[in-house]
Structure 1
Amino acid sequence: MSIRSEQKEKTRQAIIEAALILSEERGFPALSLREVTREAEIAPATFYRHFKDMEELGLVLVDKVAQTLRQLMRKARQRIKANGSIIESSVITQLEFSQKNAQLFRLLTSGLTGGPKIFREALQKEKQFFIDELHEDLNTDARLANTSLVAEVMVNQVLVASIEAIDKKPEELILIQQRLITQLRMILLGSMAQKKPD
């Protein structure tokens, strides 16, 4: 890679990092181009060499969230294969993710409710991917009814707990984890109670 290409990539990453840092404070939808360029220590005109507008930057951030979530899904599935518990493996993996990737997670949660439509739709699509993957796993259990709805409710519950888990101390995290595992088990028990006998 040439020095010019390296510098261009470095500037692009500085813009992305600046957007993530500022998103953590106020959410991406509230950011202006000038704020991002000031945080990245570049001129506003330089921004346009890397992104068409803030919307395009938002979509790049969504892609970053998507890649991280898919790695998370693979990790959770490996844990499930190792210890057999969908709930415990998924909860532990998700809460680890929200703590280690606080900026990305805050971006995900703030973007689901605000900002440009294209940005919200892209984040919703990634959330739906997560729901669909869980639905596929749950659908293998013949005891469960309405697995599509169950997957959606479970993912929403995990998102709420994950927001709560950000920046928590280890002992607080364990309590959140235990409560979430209980809640998810109750959801599954409710699904089993709904299953009509063949």
Structure 2
Amino acid sequence: MEVNKTLHSLKAQEKEARRQLIIDAAISLFSKRPISDVSVRDIAKQAEISPALIYRHFQDRDALFVEAFVKKSEDIIKGFERMMDENGHMNAEEVGVEFVSYLLDNDLFFRMMTYFMLDTNINEKSLHNFNENIRRLLGVFDEVFKDKKTESDIRLHSHAFFAALNGVLITYRQYPGRTENQVREHMIQLAKIIGKQFQT
């Protein structure tokens, strides 16, 4: 009985390792090209496995994209949850710095997200799953604005804040004539300024 449990555990670990290998290969490709330019065959080649093996884990390319996106965005959400647990609250400045820092530390994910914003060519089911995850992420941003006495829609504030932070990353990620540390510090300062503006 114990041997069977061990074998089952090893198979589960192997399956999860294979899924992660596929997701990592997908992120690598989705960070370099629009979704419509990436095929399951391309991902299989990147992962050095057969396309058939990918289909054992994922329904299609679009489902794989969403799975990869959800996995990485969960990390951002967990970061916000830790912040909430430690501080008992979240303000726009703290959220802005956390969000920008995460995307600076996970550049492939940021590039993948940017390509998606420019090319949303995925099937309806996957798009629905993607939007559900984005709503969860924006729900964290909503928490920042719940205490504000504003007549405007909270989610509209979250959209504006999300767009402003992504604009910082797109505009200054390749700042000419500055070191990587200088670029990072510059973007963190901009995130703080944006956060303060949204808090007023």
Tell me, what secondary structure is at the counterpart of 1:109? helix
How many angstroms does 1:173 deviate by?
1.7
How many angstroms does 1:57 deviate by?
1.4
1:180 aligns with 191
2:148 aligns with 141
Change (3 A) 1:146 1:13: same
Report whether the alignment pairs 1:92 with 2:103: no
- The question of whether the paired residues in 2 share the 8 Å contact of 1:150 and 1:188 is answered with no
Report whether the alignment pairs 1:52 with 2:37: no
Name the amino acid aligned to 1:110.
Y
Q: How does 1:1-198 map to 2 (within 5 A)?
A: 1-2=6-7, 3-78=10-85, 81=88, 86-113=91-118, 114-116=120-122, 117-142=124-149, 144-148=150-154, 149-164=156-171, 166=173, 169-189=180-200
Between the aligned partners of 1:77 and 1:4, the Cα distance in structure 2 is 37
- The question of whether the paired residues in 1 share the 8 Å contact of 2:93 and 2:196 is answered with no
Tell me, what secondary structure is at the counterpart of 2:14? helix
| Equivalent pairs, count | 186
How many angstroms does 1:41 deviate by?
0.6
Between the aligned partners of 1:109 and 1:49, the Cα distance in structure 2 is 28
How large is the Cα RMSD of the aligned pairs? 2.7
Between the aligned partners of 1:100 and 1:181, the Cα distance in structure 2 is 17
The unaligned stretches of length 5 or more in structure 1 are 190-198
TM-score (structure 2 length as normaliser): 0.77
Percent identity, aligned pairs only?
Answer: 18
How many angstroms does 1:52 deviate by?
2.3
TM-score (structure 1 length as normaliser): 0.77
Query: Could you list the per-position Cα deviations for residues 109-151 of structure 1 after superposition, in whole angstroms to 9, with x for gaps in the alignment?
Result: 3224422143344333323223333223312133x34151222
Query: Could you list the per-position Cα deviations for residues 26-72 of structure 1 after superposition, in whole angstroms to 9, with x for gaps in the alignment?
Result: 14442101110011111222222222221221232132033113113
Change (3 A) 1:124 1:49: closer
Name the amino acid aligned to 1:86.
N
Between the aligned partners of 2:11 and 2:131, the Cα distance in structure 1 is 36
Tell me, what secondary structure is at the counterpart of 2:52? helix
